[in-house]
Amino acid sequence: MIKIGISSCFMYPDPSRLVFGPKTLSYLENDMARYIARKGVMPVLIPDIADDLLYDMLDQMDGFVFQGGTDLAPATYGEDPIIPGKWLGDPVRDAYELKVLDFAFQNQKPIFAICRGFQLLNVYFKGTLYQDIATQRPDAIIHRDAQAYDTMRHELKLVPGKLLHSIYGDEKAIVNTVHHQGIKHLGKNLTVLATSMEDGIIEAVEYSEGPSGRILGVQWHPEFSAKNPVGVLDPNLLYQAFLTHLID
């Protein structure tokens, strides 16, 4: 059984929450669980636990997925908030996930980074982020709408000769878009695989100093479209390309 560790999303104490109000919760969005689970593939939610226990657990994983969620804190990539009090992110989750990501990288484990995970991957490799695309890139298209959510879509430009182009060929590359932040300065040793067709925002990267696709990040949410990939790039082809790095 292949074991894929998935980093947790955190929900912090909230007295207004009727269940576990005073407690911190670690959770996995259900579309992600269904996307990662396959015959012979077990998704494992990685808890935020003491390091001596955490690293023992991480050592049992064959690969890692970093899921979406809250913004990264600007301080995590060496910046101050561009607007005081806005887009402050989650420094606790940042520290936890960077620890898990570093373990995966140092131990040459396959990594699939999605949305926030994609941004985390860039920051791990010393890149930076737009704290808010609409504010810092007013020329950009709208990349997130709270009401439309994952029904909102745009087209990608796949870089010829790179991994995504080899997977999807010349088909029209449409994906969902549910993010208000994005890559500003590209991290070291990351190669761009796709950009937003209309504004050039980076939408997919891979680590260039190892096998193609073993460390892969995408800005969209393939898991949201996995059950019904009509009109969008087939998320299952993308996941299968990742799985090839976990199968002996």
| Contact status, residue 143 vs residue 154, Cβ threshold 8 Å | yes
Active site residues: 115, 221, 223
| Contact status, residue 119 vs residue 72, Cβ threshold 8 Å | yes
Task: Catalogue the E-assigned strands of the chain.
Answer: 2-7, 9-11, 25-27, 41-46, 63-66, 111-114, 129-130, 153-158, 174-176, 182-183, 190-196, 202-207, 215-218
Question: Which residues make beta-bridge pairs with 191?
Answer: 206
Sign of CA dihedral 184, 187, 188, 192: negative
Angle of the 116-124 helix axis to the 91-106 helix axis, nearest 10: 70
| Contact status, residue 66 vs residue 94, Cβ threshold 8 Å | no
Roughly how many angstroms between the first and final C-alpha of the chain, as a whole number?
A: 12
